[in-house]
Amino acid sequence: MGIKFGTDEYFMNEAYKQAVLALEQNEVPVGAVVVANQKIIARAHNQTETLTDATAHAEILALTSAFNYLGAKYLTDCTLYVTLEPCTMCAGALYWAQLGKVVIGAPDKKRGYSRLITGQEKVLHPKTQLVQGVLEEKCSSIVTQFFKQLRG
């Protein structure tokens, strides 16, 4: 049974394909896509090792790509799909981008931004709709397997 086009599962699966590309390059397997009007306008995966740049996370690369594509300062009409909960840096970038919606695959209890929420201040933009747990199991297991192999 396929995943129906246009659903959150569909676009998350496209982000997952980016995570697989990262895995093939021995990068921490995280992928992201940015969608506007049901169209993917940016795809990216983690490239911190390839670029020797600790800021080259999937979300940052996808955002910069989307900004370039749209020529826009804000991504208020866009949705970002990312396989793993963004870190503090990426969540901060999502704030500035003012995404309309952010969809997260698996939680990241160690480095995810949500551990920083104080209750008074939120990291994401107040206008950003947040959806979590889409294709959570596969998005989580690709990361778990990567670190298991790395340490094994």
Place of tokens 């306008």: 41
136 is catalytic: no
CB of 57 to a second copy, least distance (A): 8
Q: Which is nearer to a second copy, 40 or 72 (CB)?
A: 72
Closest CA to 62 of 88, 28, 93: 93
3-class SS at 123?
coil
Binding segment toward a second copy, per CB under 8 A, in 34-42, 64-72, 77-85, 135-143: 64-72
Using alpha carbons, list the distances in angstroms from residue 97 to 24, 36, 69, 79, 152. Answer: 29, 14, 14, 11, 38
How many CB atoms are closer than 10 A to CB 39?
7
CA–CA dist 60, 17 (Å, integer): 17
93 binds a second copy, rule: CB under 8 A? yes
60 binds a second copy, rule: CB under 8 A? yes
Site string for a second copy, 8-47 (x = CB under 8 A): ----------------------------------------
92 binds a second copy, rule: CB under 8 A? yes
* DSSP, res 27: S
Q: Which residues of the chain form contacts with a second copy (CB under 8 A)?
A: 48-49, 51-55, 60, 63-64, 67-68, 71-74, 87-93, 95-98, 113, 115-116, 118, 121, 123
